[in-house]
Structure 1
Amino acid sequence: MASIITGLQGLPPAEHPKGHPFVAGSYDELEKVHMAPYLDCISQHVCTVMASFSSYNGQKMHSHKFLLTDVLKNKLGFKGFVISDWGGIDKLKDNGDPEGAEYRVCAALGINAGIDMVLGRLDLVKFQEDLISLVEAGEVPISRIDDAVERILRVKFAAGIFEHPFSDRSLLDLVGCKLHREIAREAVRKSLVLLKNGKDPEKPLLPLDKNARKILVAGTHADDLGYQCGAWTVSWTGDSGSTTIGTTILDAIKQTVGPETEVIFEQCPTADTLSAHDFAFAIVAVGEPPYAEYISSKTELVIPSDLADMICSVADRVPTLLVLITGRPIELKPEMLEKIDALVAAWLPGTEGNGITDVFFGDYDFMGRLPVSWFKTLDQLPMDPGSNLYDPLFPVGFGLTHGPKMKTYSI
């Protein structure tokens, strides 16, 4: 297997950046092994092809005229347009190309190679000025511009967007309307997975009492709408804080409990706070900061030690529901699991925090089941349910329901 991988991927140069594959091999091999799917896609009238961040035999794809133009457009007969990846033109300067530090040169390399539409990180005015200058200087032929424009317009005409625009501004007021939010709230309710409910199954913590005298809410993710939404929402990698309109878990709790219930929020409760109040229970929400693409590649998928210590400190004094706001399983230490009374995987619930409290306080039952195995330790990854070594913390398909006679579902 190792020799096959080496044969397909090649050996990347020293210090080659993560997430930007380096592919090596002969053109004959490339044509025989990898080109067939492209021929089939083109025959099915695929209209756009994105150049990858990868390099082929040391040359970045965004400047590879042979593959983008000679092969894709001329030999394979692709009539649509080639679009760059985000910042792909900019990254040509990292490849040691002549005068590569100058964006103007990178733009010429990419467009002359066959890039028809550019997704750029630099400002639009800078790109426009450089491209006009390149054409006026004859460094980018006007015929190349004409070809790119023709290809882009061909796709737009074929899609009918001039006669039947895809966007209808009269519908803007519907975005985020009450119906949309009700559906999003329902999706939250149905996706929550109950993993533990009570140290003693005969004495479950959930559903929670709406009329409890005093409730503690804690954790980094309890009052952070950006963390609830995750990445690829308002921004690429996501952010923290009030990034959009919605309801945090804390706000949803305050809206759900009775008028006589006191809700105290402290992100990291101190010993004084815990000893000064007689809390009926605590809801602690923690997880990962938002992430996307290569930023998510980590050697550890764990709750940070300071947060784990906080959770244990709270659970030592107060019946505790731990809520995990994360797009994937994370490692849960046995000592923490023993201390907490209940555990829920809430994933990335988005803007409608009320969907969480709908279930926590008993208006709806839990319906979610794990779509993946939840590992005990990182060294178990990747997990194979068909292996005789399969020993997860929670198996794929696992999920509990409310009540003294809790049901357990698993696949």
Structure 2
Amino acid sequence: MIKKTFLLLLIFLLFVSFIFSSEESIEEKVERLLSQMTLEEKVGQMTQVDSSYLYNPEDVKRYFIGSVLSGGNSGPSNPTPANWVEYVNRFQYYALQTRLRIPILYGIDAVHGNAKVYSAVVFPHNIGLGCTRNEKLVEDCARITAIETSAIGIRWSFAPCVAVVQDVRWGRTYESFSENPDVVALLGSAVVRGFQGGSLSNKDSILACPKHFVGDGGTKFGTSINGLLDQGDTRISEKELRNIHLKPYIFAIKNSAKSIMVSFSSWNGIKMHANKYLLTDVLKKELGFDGFLVSDWKAIEQLPGNYEDQVAMSINAGIDMIMVPDNYVRFINTLISCVQKGRVPISRIDDAVRRILKVKFLLGLFENPYANKDLINKIGSKEHREVARRAVRESVVVLQNKNKILPLSKNLKHICVVGPKANDIGSQCGGWTISWQGQKGNITVGTTILEAIKKSVSNNTKVTFSPYGDNIPKDAEVIVAVVGEKPYAESMGDTFKPEIEYSDHLILQNIFKEKKPIVMILLVGRPVDIENYLSKTFGVICAWLPGTEGEGITDILFGDFNPKGRLSFTWYTVDRNKATFPYGYGLSY
């Protein structure tokens, strides 16, 4: 039995070395493999399925599935690194049982660290990083994300989001670096470089996926199926589209981005998933993008016509891989039928598969398809957390400092901390953390603001915690109130009036009755209405959604670091007629 197993292994290795000789170029390897593929195998490569819908993982083998993803809420029930490795490797195992042994490309939304993994470092969301204007720091954060993602066998992140958001009422505002296309282009490219490293074939590199092409940050209120901003219509001229929204993609392509996700949104009434002019003529031909295009979640089903019409329209427009993500058998059969009927030319299929295979070869997936377990111990390491802490303190923006109350002295006799969010990792991290919408509570490993304050002060300083601000000690010298938005993601965060949670508003009303100086720390995903609070507080610090490293905030609060974060978005009043704080604003000590 041992001899037989050894013989089979030897035959397999000889097969691989023959088919994919190291002397061949990647282009030659792609063409050799493509020439052997059946239509069914080609269509399988163009199919991406969410793991939660693969009830039988053997379907990866049966239908030659080319890509699997873990969407917002899919993955192991206990999301430890070890469980993630086992979860991802299982799908890869079945891919390697196919006739041509083409590995799957596994994708995940590692948008601020590999935050679906328990104990991974969670970085500030992009809106905070945008306030740093520090491309080297952003690249370092992305490099760490790549290490902590590849460690569990996932080599593709659906990031960076390079939306140039023009209306902060959009629930994805915090995924954007700035309202300024230059800042988005600069920092988006830094993420691409950090993810992909010196070479995509490095075991700790992952494939970047700038999103959502193009104009998702410019949608207008009332133009989408839910009446708000998510998945709406961008109604601007082509000149504006190019000057504002296309620029980050030009930079990303120059930095060797090899995958791009297409937007749910429309441009002047035409759904992006059907816009052949922008996807093929502009992106692939004019800009020379030689990677592959992936659709967004079930997005082709928003196109006009029946399902066959939608499949044919999206593929012919230039999309190479469809995030189905559920009924993959229907998609595969429909696309095969479209080819057989002549609705989709085989040349379009070959072009799509050629692009996908090229990226798989560039990633070295054929040689190293499984998780890089050597990197597991680096997940959540002290070194990684220190970089995240630096990202937090550089992203914090000091908005108000009356009577120079900031920085607080570490030798105050008594500090009272107020607000449940002060001791809540989930609120610090926001959406896209462990689950799609994120959630309140200590959902992963990290340091809360309350814990960080206790670590920072002298041994003689008393720190008390009054969650609801209804029992402030009389001898407290200062109140630190931590308030903000609840966790949310995508359209769940669309709102007509960005403001802090009502429960936090009530907490502030409680402490405003106290005749004590107040420092307000904001945990928000965008500028929110704080006009009525400014006259009643001495210090205001916007920490955005900083992630797991709360000590980055206390580095600013107690003056260990001179704040240099500058607003990457204009902080408008609720009626948007004037700015509470202008773009680029931020105080230093």
Query: Fold match, TM over 0.5?
Result: yes
Match in the other structure for 1:316: 513
1:336-395 per-position Cα deviation (integer Å, ceiling 9, x unaligned): 323223222222222111222234334x14322433576472345575xxxxxxxx4577
Cα distance in structure 1, aligned partners of 2:235 and 2:392: 45
SS across alignment from 1:307: helix
**1:84 lines up with 2:295 in the alignment:** yes
Cα distance in structure 1, aligned partners of 2:283 and 2:576: 42
Which fold has the larger relative contact order, with Cα–Cα distance below 8 Å and residues 6 or more apart in sequence? 2
Q: 1:228 aligns with which of 421, 428, 437?
A: 428
Q: Contact 2:410–2:458 (CA<8 Å) still a contact in 1?
A: no
Q: How does 1:268-347 map to 2 (within 5 A)?
A: 268-270=468-470, 273-274=471-472, 277-304=474-501, 306-317=503-514, 318-334=516-532, 336-347=533-544
Match in the other structure for 1:250: 450
Q: Which amino acid in the other structure matches residue 323 of structure 1?
A: I
User: In the TM superposition, what is the alpha-carbon distance from 1:234 to its structure 2 partner?
Assistant: 4.0
Normalised to the residue count of structure 2, the TM-score between the two structures is 0.49
Q: Which amino acid in the other structure matches residue 83 of structure 1?
A: V
Q: Contact 2:469–2:511 (CA<8 Å) still a contact in 1?
A: yes
Match in the other structure for 1:409: none
Cα distance in structure 2, aligned partners of 1:374 and 1:131: 44
Cα distance in structure 1, aligned partners of 2:283 and 2:356: 16
Normalised to the residue count of structure 1, the TM-score between the two structures is 0.67
**1:239 lines up with 2:439 in the alignment:** yes
What is the aligned-residue identity percentage? 37
User: In the TM superposition, what is the alpha-carbon distance from 1:154 to its structure 2 partner?
Assistant: 2.9
Q: Which amino acid in the other structure matches residue 285 of structure 1?
A: V
1:89-122 per-position Cα deviation (integer Å, ceiling 9, x unaligned): 3434xx4x23x5xxx88556645765331223x4
1:286-334 per-position Cα deviation (integer Å, ceiling 9, x unaligned): 1123444555543323335553343243143233221112243323234
Cα distance in structure 1, aligned partners of 2:381 and 2:280: 46
Evaluate the alpha carbon distance shift between residue 24 and residue 290 of structure 1 in structure 2; reply closer, same or farther with a 3 A threshold.
closer
Q: Contact 1:286–1:325 (CA<8 Å) still a contact in 2?
A: yes
Note the residue ranges of structure 1 that are not aligned, 5 or more in a row. 1-8, 384-391, 402-411
Cα distance in structure 1, aligned partners of 2:540 and 2:289: 52
SS across alignment from 1:195: strand
Cα distance in structure 2, aligned partners of 1:352 and 1:71: 41
User: In the TM superposition, what is the alpha-carbon distance from 1:66 to its structure 2 partner?
Assistant: 8.8
SS across alignment from 1:324: strand
Match in the other structure for 1:386: none
SS across alignment from 2:511: helix
1:164-221 per-position Cα deviation (integer Å, ceiling 9, x unaligned): 88974422322321111122223323333333345x45xx3642344624x3221242
Cα distance in structure 1, aligned partners of 2:455 and 2:375: 30
Note the residue ranges of structure 2 that are not aligned, 5 or more in a row. 1-218
Evaluate the alpha carbon distance shift between residue 78 and residue 355 of structure 1 in structure 2; reply closer, same or farther with a 3 A threshold.
closer
SS across alignment from 2:422: coil
Q: How does 1:8-407 map to 2 (within 5 A)?
A: 18-22=229-233, 47-48=258-259, 50-54=261-265, 60-62=271-273, 80-92=291-303, 95=304, 97-98=305-306, 107=311, 110-111=314-315, 115-120=319-324, 122-123=325-326, 126-127=327-328, 129-134=329-334, 138-141=337-340, 143=346, 148-157=352-361, 161-162=365-366, 168-198=372-402, 200-201=403-404, 204=405, 206-210=407-411, 212-213=413-414, 215-258=415-458, 262-270=462-470, 273-274=471-472, 277-304=474-501, 306-317=503-514, 318-334=516-532, 336-362=533-559, 364-372=560-568, 375=571, 377-380=573-576, 392-393=580-581, 396-401=584-589
Evaluate the alpha carbon distance shift between residue 197 and residue 163 of structure 1 in structure 2; reply closer, same or farther with a 3 A threshold.
same
User: In the TM superposition, what is the alpha-carbon distance from 1:153 to its structure 2 partner?
Assistant: 0.9
Q: RMSD between aligned alpha carbons?
A: 4.6
Match in the other structure for 1:407: none
User: In the TM superposition, what is the alpha-carbon distance from 1:48 to its structure 2 partner?
Assistant: 4.5
User: In the TM superposition, what is the alpha-carbon distance from 1:70 to its structure 2 partner?
Assistant: 9.7
Q: Contact 2:396–2:544 (CA<8 Å) still a contact in 1?
A: yes
Evaluate the alpha carbon distance shift between residue 181 and residue 115 of structure 1 in structure 2; reply closer, same or farther with a 3 A threshold.
same
The number of residue pairs the alignment matches comes to 356
